[in-house]
């Protein structure tokens, strides 16, 4: 459990810092590499990157939203057909967390093929 948490925190930091310099799909590359080189089980391969990316893509916008009274979250919700702000934050985290998880899982399975 400890290593699970530690990996998650490290990956989370890597995603957070990396996105200051690289385009968004950096998270796919990073999680894929994680899955291919480091993940110990398929569960770890999915959930660690999922949570790491979720944290960055939902919690960072949440922090921003707390500073602008959720106005941007509401605007994005309006543009995407009237979703409420909390749903936008959740979807933002879930969709890209899932993407990170799946990328990592792909890496993990590719490694196991050989």
Partner 1 sequence: MGKILNPHQGFWQNAERKFVDQELESELITDDIQIVYDERYVPHIYAQNMEDALFAQGYLEAQNRLFQMDLMARSVSGNLSEVIGKNPAVLKKDIESIRKGHRTTAAFLQETFQKGENTSVLDKYTQGANHFIKSLDKKDYPFEYKLMDFSPTLWSTEKSIYVLISMADLLCGRADDFEHNNLKEILDEEVFTYLYADNFDIKEPIVPRGTPFNFDKKSDHFDPSMNSYGKIYKTDFSPNRIFGAGSNNWAISGEKSKTGKPILANDPHLGLSLPSIWYELEMHTPEFHAHGVSVPGLAGMMIGFNDDVAWGMTNVSHDIKDFFRITYTDESKTKYFYGDGVKEITKKQETIKRRGEEDYVEQVAYTEWGPIMYSKDSIDLAMHWLRSNYAKKDEPSVYVNCMKSTSYDDFIHNTSGYVAPAQNFICADKSNIGIRVNGTFAAKEIGDGKFIKDGSIPAAGWSDYISEDQLPHSKNPERGFVSSANQRSTTGEYPYYFNGTFATYRGERINALLSAEDKLDVSSLKNMQLDNFNIRARDFLPMFLEVIKHYEDEEYKSILKDWDYTYTEDTEAGTIFYVWYSNYRKMIFDEFSPYHQEMYLKYPFDWKIFELSTQYPDHIIFDNASTNKLENRDDIIKESFVKTYEDLKTESDLAWSAYRPLYIDHVAKISGLGSGAIQLGGSGESINAMRSRFGPSWRMVVALGEEIDAYGVYPGGQSGNPSSKYYKDMLESWVEGDYYKLKLEKDPNKISASRNLKIKSGR
| Contacting positions for partner 1 (CB under 8 A) | 19-20, 23-25, 56-57, 60-61, 64-65, 67-69, 71-72, 74-82, 92, 95-96, 99
SS (H, E, C) 41-65: CHHHHHHHHHHHHHHHHHHHHHHHH
Nearest-approach distance from CB 65 to partner 1, in angstroms: 7
Nearest-approach distance from CB 104 to partner 1, in angstroms: 16
* Dihedral (CA of 66, 70, 19, 111) sign: positive
Given the complex with partner 1, which of 33 and 91 has the nearer CB atom?
Answer: 91
What's the CA gap between 19 and 26, in Å, rounded?
7
Given the complex with partner 1, which of 42 and 60 has the nearer CB atom?
Answer: 60
């Amino acid at each position: 459990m400890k290593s699970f948490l530690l990996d998650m925190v490290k990956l989370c930091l890597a995603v957070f810092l990396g996105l200051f310099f690289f385009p968004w799909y950096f998270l796919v590359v990073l999680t894929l590499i994680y899955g291919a080189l480091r993940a110990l089980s398929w569960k770890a391969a999915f959930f660690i990157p999922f949570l790491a990316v979720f944290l960055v893509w939902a919690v960072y916008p949440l922090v921003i939203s707390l500073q602008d009274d959720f106005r941007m979250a509401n605007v994005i919700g309006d543009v995407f057909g009237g979703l409420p702000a909390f749903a936008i934050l959740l979807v933002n985290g879930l969709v890209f967390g899932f993407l990170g998880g799946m990328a990592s899982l792909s890496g993990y399975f590719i490694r196991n093929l050989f």
